[in-house]
Amino acid sequence: MADENAFAELIHEYVAECLPLAERVSDAFLEIERAWHRGGRDAQAIAELKGTLHTLKGNSAMMGLAPMQRLAHLLEDLCALALADEGARGLELAGLLVEGSGLLVDLVRGAAEPGGAAAEAVGGFAGRASEYLAAHPAAPAAALRLDRRRSDRRAEGDAGTIRVDFRRLDTLLEIFGEAMIEQSALPEVHRRLAARVGASPELADLDRVVVALGSTMKRLESALMQTRLLPISTVFGRFNRLVRDLARGEQKQVRLETEGGEMLLDKSILDRLGEPLVHLVTNAVVHGIEREDERLRRGKPPEATVTLRASALADRAVVSISDDGRGLDAARILARAAALGMDLPEGDASAAYAVIFAPGFSTADAVSQVAGRGVGLDAAASAIHALGGAIDVASEPGRGVTFTLTLPLTLAIVRSLIVEVDRERYAVPLSHVAETVRLEPGAVHEINRQGVVMWRGAAIHVADGGEILGSAPERVGGRKYCVVLSAGPRRRAVLVDRLVGHQDVVVKRLDATVGRPDVVSGATILGDGRVACILDAAGIVTQRAVA
Amino acid sequence: MSDATVRPGSFLVVDDSPLHHQMYRVVFTRGALAGSVVHHASNGREGYAILAAHPELTLVFLDLNMPEMNGLEFLVRRRAESLHPHVPVVLVTTESTPEDEARGRAAGAWDYLRKPFQPGDIERLVARVRAERAPAA
């Protein structure tokens, strides 16, 4: 039992050290399985993997983690067999290596959690692996444990790494946010002081200090954000297995390629990125990629490729998912949209593609076991919008589809437009503001008892800010400004009294029991100390789709 | 072996696993060995330099598998250069075969420590070093 082990308290260090090793082994076995599937018999990489498994076995044994120890041991023996017996290098052995290493990743990942991944799962695998080993006596038992090679070098500087509960970083950021608010009051104080005493050397000094403090705060903010970053490979890493398992279920050959895995993203974003990506990758494998015979008929390689790619723009991260499958069928999409009674987008095919993100839209003829009933794409799209991101799709018929996600680098600080409605101030995330317009008298029309404004040649629905926010509902027409919100292809305008300005606001999550969670996503404190609600712009825009 | 022989000393841990260094830290900061001086090295090369600078070491814990000079290479070089031969070195392994162990002893390992070990195993090794090499401490 781990509880009686003197080193049980080091369980997080165990996971931190062993999970990357186990994941690397698991990915490498997937690679080997593909190579062997193509008829290769190379086993060069296996010697090193065996060494890593030996390390995993030793570490697990030290922690008293018997299931992991046993798994690593069996995998080591399977590696030894692969090294010793070229005839054994085939799909059966590769399948065992892939299955066992996947199980090992799950067990190690769950090791720190009470009742983590089920250790019983080892039993079934162990039975099959032992049977297989017994049937292949080529593996010389003594030679199995040469205990020699190992090249899993750890990155320099590991010794200077400490583990910190992520909540502590959140607390730091909150405190920083308060400091930022206090700091933002300084220029105003300076201005009032200058108005009273006029020019003075002391005031000039104060001005320099205020400016210097501002730039130090910017540096502090960026240093603080650095502590919250993780490479996106921590998310990408999960997809090797998903793609393999899906492809197997679909009887397709699919390889996953990843690029830009080293790109850093705030943990709060990464935590919420996995699910939409699962939808998109699943769709690519199940619907995007053709069956093998169809691919051959079209002169494509039988093995399809799904690519996950990450890159950084100035203040946004871009993640794309591409496949080299059949591409979207614009005619079918439009027919389907018409059948569902949806507004048909005007313009070229790429505009038509945008309707696939609408709720309930799916062109899949057969309800596939994995892709479900077409809930995938709109769920993915709304998850991305909720993150303050955007999703776009591009398709080349016969060549494949690329989904492009544009994401903010962090959720903790949001660049916002501050607006005023009925003397209350609200923050609107700029990522969702398409435009602000000064309302001309009579600009708001009524169609089917719903307010509408014309914007860039199209009629978009408009709502009164006071009505949405529950302050004194005013007759539409009394407000001076209109903020056009966007979430993906959808737009909705909100009428407000005043545009106050732009500000970086530190998001404070609201307790579920307060506020109006359907239109408000959080709160922040403004420079003058006033509390302002942050509007859930994506929620407001999609709300109208329901109304 | 009396308990008095298990007392803090000066140790060197040569291992490429941060997890293992943490484990030695648990052993050397609690119980009978609390208060020991412990030097940490993450590969054989680094460990060799530390050994050269510390002839007063009570015991060296040397992992067998490491990048940048493994445990056997460490021992072979030490023997060749006759570097502080009075400092005993324990080779740390997982499931070593008798042949492996014979090779290690031939290269100058004083004893083996097999994973998984517990703090008591290290305390017993220290007691034996004290008993065998009382004047050297």
Residues A399-423 have pLDDT tens digits of 999 999 988 877 777 888 999 998 8
Q: How far is the C-alpha of A340 from the C-alpha of A149, rounded, in Å?
A: 62
Question: Burial letters for A125-155: b for 16+ Cβ neighbours within 10 Å, e otherwise?
Answer: bbebbeebbeebeebeeeebbbbeebebebe
A66 CB-near residues (< 8 Å, 6+ apart): A60, A119
Q: Are A255 and A34 in contact (CB under 8 A)?
A: yes
The pLDDT score that the predictor gives to residue B48 is 94
Q: Could you tell me what percent of chain B has a pLDDT over 70? A: 94
CA-nearest residue to B40 within chain A is A159
The pLDDT score that the predictor gives to residue B126 is 93
Q: Are A472 and A461 in contact (CB under 8 A)?
A: no
Confidence band of B2 (pLDDT split at 50, 70, 90): very low
Question: Burial letters for B71-94: b for 16+ Cβ neighbours within 10 Å, e otherwise?
Answer: bbebbebbeeeeebeebbbbbbbb
Label residue A182 left, alpha or beta by phi (over 0 means left) and psi (-120 to 50 means alpha): alpha
Asked if B64 lies within 8 A of A147 by C-beta distance, the reply is yes
The pLDDT score that the predictor gives to residue A474 is 55
Q: Are A308 and A402 in contact (CB under 8 A)?
A: no
Q: Which helix (H) or strand (E) segment is A109 a member of?
A: helix A91-109
Q: How far is the C-alpha of A277 from the C-alpha of A265, rounded, in Å?
A: 15
DSSP-derived secondary structure letter, A178:
H
Please list the ranges in chain A whose pLDDT falls under 50. Answer: 1-3, 139-159, 366-374, 545-547
Q: Are A173 and A509 in contact (CB under 8 A)?
A: no
B114 residue type, one letter: R
Query: Which residues, numbered 4 to 63 in chain B, qualify as contacts with chain A under a Cβ-Cβ cut-off of 8 Å?
Result: 16-20, 22-23, 26-27, 40, 42
The pLDDT score that the predictor gives to residue A427 is 92
Written as one string, the DSSP assignment of A359-389 is TT----SS-BTTTBTTHHHHHHHHHHHHTT-
In the three-class reduction of DSSP (H, G, I as helix; E, B as strand; rest coil), residue A7 is classed as coil
**Residue among A10, A148, A161 whose CB faces B19 most closely:** A10
Nearest in space to A321 (alpha carbons), one of A361, A381, A367, A366: A381
Q: What is the pLDDT of residues A437-482, one digit of tens each?
A: 888 877 888 777 778 888 888 888 888 888 888 776 555 557 889 9
The pLDDT score that the predictor gives to residue B23 is 94
The pLDDT score that the predictor gives to residue A358 is 76
Q: What are phi and psi of B75, to 5 degrees?
A: -65, -40
How far is the alpha carbon of B72 from chain A, nearest alpha carbon, in Å? 10
Give how far Cα A479 sits from Cα of A57, A438, A497, A498, A501, Å.
69, 9, 5, 8, 17
The pLDDT score that the predictor gives to residue A510 is 64
pLDDT of B137 higher than 60: no
Q: Are A110 and A18 in contact (CB under 8 A)?
A: no
Q: How far is the C-alpha of A224 from the C-alpha of A228, rounded, in Å?
A: 7
In the three-class reduction of DSSP (H, G, I as helix; E, B as strand; rest coil), residue A243 is classed as helix
Asked if B116 lies within 8 A of A150 by C-beta distance, the reply is no
Please tell me which residue, A457 or B3, carries the higher pLDDT value: A457
Which candidate in B17, B62, B118, B122 is best for mutational testing of the A interface (most A CBs within 10 A)?
B17
B78 touches chain A (CB under 8 A): no
Q: Are A427 and A523 in contact (CB under 8 A)?
A: no
The pLDDT score that the predictor gives to residue A545 is 44
pLDDT of B134 higher than 70: no
Q: How far is the C-alpha of B123 from the C-alpha of B70, rounded, in Å?
A: 25
Q: What is the pLDDT of residues B67-102, one digit of tens each?
A: 778 899 999 999 999 999 999 999 998 877 777 788
The pLDDT score that the predictor gives to residue A155 is 37
Which candidate in A1, A5, A7 is best for mutational testing of the B interface (most B CBs within 10 A)?
A7
Structure tokens given for B126: 């220290």
- List CB contacts (< 8 A) between B99 and chain A: 142
The pLDDT score that the predictor gives to residue A345 is 58
B66 touches chain A (CB under 8 A): yes
